[in-house]
Structure 1
Amino acid sequence: MSPGPAAGAAGRLSFTDRFLAVWILVAMAAGLGLGRLVPGLGDALAEVTVTGVSLPIALGLLVMMYPVLAKVRYDRLGTVTRDRRLLLPSLLLNWVLGPALMFALAWVFLPDLPEYRTGLIIVGLARCIAMVIIWNDLARGDREAAAVLVALNSVFQVLAFSLLGWFYLSVLPGWLGLGRTTLDVSVWEITRSVLIFLGIPLAAGFLTRRLGEKAKGRAWYERELVPRIGPFALYGLLFTIVVLFALQGDAITARPLDVARIALPLLVYFALMWTGSMALGRAVGLTRPKATTLAFTAAGNNFELAIAVAVATFGATSGQALAGVVGPLIEVPVLIGLVHVALAARRWFPAPADATTAPEGATRA
């Protein structure tokens, strides 16, 4: 039964979205090639900055995040806040267990590489607000629940990211006797990066939906405007990866074993977070579509924000930024594989009545 829904969901994606992993690999190769073929490209890219981030990277990040946040149904936020079986596990997984797990894995796998370790911790703090909607659709998760959890993560991230960064990078290592990670910027500087690279697209997405629906209605907004602006999230992601890999080319090619060491804790993180979240959803009585949404929103990370903060705080050629760049290259193939696991997981969930199965699990326009 599982191949049918998977094929149907994949068929609703554009050609570009279906081969996302391929395009990311192509963007990576293009960035590496440009960095080697064009002398002085890195200096040119870094010449003009926005809060410490190269202007091309800043534009790519903003373009990448805006369309996803414009898709969010902000008026449905109250629906999920009333569903305690979904909301409470989501908050626990995203803001307690997820950051703590990444912190532990970073120290276990990278005790001798503090820059990469710090980059991974930053990744763990940046909860997913972007491509998770694509994986959720492919896995026939609950689209509305995913949209609302994305909105909730977006708001909470603006409020909590800086405080959690200070705690996990400075306070907790000191308490555990691990040694404090040097952080040469104030909490306000991290907050400024979050507000620019998350706050601006969040406000723009909210206003786009509000004004668009007011002017032409929700049906037009969902059927006409969203499909037009949606692909720009991927274009922004690919453009950002090209620029970052152009800046990071020497480090990647010179230290392939370091890249592999960054990838290993990420693989463990995705496996533990996704399977644990799916099991928790089943234990608290969620339907398979909602448990799937819980699992993908908990396992995914907002690499866009992590990259922005790492670049702004430590520099575009830093090890912290490299850890963020490696993230989506690992996340994409892993979560694509977990889509098929989610579809096969139906046998472990109570079968809903036929009348409710399609509306709950179906992807809505």
Structure 2
Amino acid sequence: MSTENATGAAQEAANDPGEAGIVAKLSTLDRFLPVWIVVAMAVGLLLGRLIPGLAPALDAIAINGTSVPIAIGLLVMMYPVLAKVRYDRLDSVTGDKRLLISSLVLNWVLGPALMFALAWLLLPDLPEYRTGLIIVGLARCIAMVIIWNDLACGDREAAAVLVALNSVFQVIAFGLLGWFYLSVLPGWLGLPVADLNISTWTIVGSVLVFLGVPLVAGYLTRTLGEKAKGREWYESKFLPKIGPLALYGLLFTIVLLFALQGRQITSQPLDVVRIALPLLAYFAIMWAGSYALGRGVGLGYERTTTLAFTAAGNNFELAIAVAIATFGATSGQALAGVVGPLIEVPVLVALVYVSLWLRRRLFPAPSAPTARSGPRT
């Protein structure tokens, strides 16, 4: 069964009392997705630990601080999802002021402030890790959130608009917020200050690679495909063929990411636990709070789900690149960035299932047509 069909089945399962029967029809890959993700993480950690030269070799293949192998994995992962987006429906998203304003406030006001508070509350004696977590909180998600949203049957068009909005604010606000949360605000509160010296090109490069390339590719694929063969062929024939690439790309990316940092993570288990605690609190609070906000302002299931995942996720690729460029590859700040996906990946996968469970209980009526995502073939 293709990823497209699996996602559609997951959506039906969330509404159908015979959920177990539908889940049983999923392919082995889709049914045991959390297992494969954990296996991919374990394989990556073992490879990084057992093959000493692997991480430096992979890390050496980089352009402007961006790991080429990881970039390839992310592009493969994001392209099928962005090729599914109905770009002719984006105007229904941009006109939804509740969604856009909620997303901006959550991502650029509450998210960084929450991570700052948790980092200082739970890591007061570990300044390097604390700084690293604050950097993670500033890097709003523009990449992997696309696939979490799709697996949870969120609104694809809304996700495309919100990650594009995040990418624009990332270029504009990342450096300014880093200066505020690391140098200005601690000084006002009588706390030790840190310095963050980051090149704007690092941020621009992250946005262009992790969002720009697959977004343009997805748009051109749909536009040219529908023009040449028609929408019915595109959605019933073409999309099911490329759909599985999203999950293959995800697993490939996870293996590479943890292979790059496997030795660093496994050699400092207690430090990883300390860093994990504020991250766990952050993901839980941001996702639950965003979901409650979406429900409270009257958004349908699809857009509430999209709001929650785009607010809870972080651009750990950018955070790691910034930490390494500023403080060094072996710094505590870099380790904090690396632990980010170690915690984020399994937590957000679990939240996909929580979201589908909540759909049956909080959104019994079908969402309005304008809030629905594109057809799932």
TM-score interval (norm. to shorter)? 0.7 to 0.9
Q: Distance in 2 between matches of 1:279 and 1:104?
A: 21
Q: 1:126 to 1:212 in 2, by over 3 A?
A: farther
**Unpaired runs of at least 5, structure 1:** none
Corresponding position of 1:43: 56
Residues in 2 aligned to 1:186 and 1:328: alpha-carbon distance in whole angstroms? 23
Distance 2:361 2:45 in 1: 44
Match of residue 129, structure 2, among 111, 116, 130: 116
- Distance verdict in 2 for CA 1:97–1:194, change over 3 Å: same
Could you state the TM-score of these two structures normalised by the residue count of structure 2?
0.78
Matches within 5 A, 1:1-365: 4=16, 15-137=28-150, 139-311=152-324, 314=327, 317-345=330-358, 349=362, 352=365, 360=372, 364-365=376-377
Structure 2 unmatched runs, 5+: 1-12
Letter in 1 for 2:16: G
Question: Which moves more between the two structures, 49-58 or 6-15?
Answer: 6-15
Once residues 355 and 33 of structure 1 are traced to their aligned partners in structure 2, the CA distance between those partners, rounded to angstroms, is: 44
Contact 2:112 2:134 in 1 (8 A): yes
In 1: Cα distance, 2:367 partner to 2:52 partner:
62
- Kindly provide the amino acid, as one letter, of the partner of residue 269 in structure 1: Y
Report the TM-score when normalising by structure 1: 0.80
Residue 139 of structure 1, CA deviation: 4.5
Structure 2 letter corresponding to 1:90: S
**Cα-to-partner distance string for 1:73-118 (whole Å, 9 max, x where unaligned):** 3333321121222222122112221122122212222233334333
How far did 1:27 drift? 2.4
Q: RMSD value over aligned CA atoms?
A: 3.7
Residues 1:355 and 1:86: Cα distance change in structure 2 (over 3 Å): closer
Q: Distance in 2 between matches of 1:8 and 1:311?
A: 48
Measure the CA separation in 2 of the matches of 1:334 and 1:143.
21
- Cα contact 2:37–2:251 (8 A) shared by 1: yes
**Matching residue's letter, 1:220:** W
Pairwise CA distance, 1:303: 3.3
Task: Report if the CA contact (8 A) 1:60-1:239 is conserved.
Answer: yes
**1:331 maps to amino acid:** E
Moved more, 4-13 or 179-188: 4-13
Q: 1:114 to 1:144 in 2, by over 3 A?
A: same
Q: Is the 8 A contact 2:48 2:258 kept in 1?
A: yes
Counterpart amino acid of 1:297? Answer: T
Q: CA deviation at 1:2?
A: 5.3
The change in CA–CA distance for 1:171 and 1:338 in structure 2 (over 3 A counts) is same
1:283-321 deviation digits (Å, cap 9, x = unpaired): 222234433332233223333444454455555554444
1-structure distance, mates of 2:276, 2:78: 24
Separation in 2, partners of 1:23, 1:244: 15
Q: How many residue pairs were aligned?
A: 364
| Preserved CA contact (<8 Å) 1:53 1:316 | no
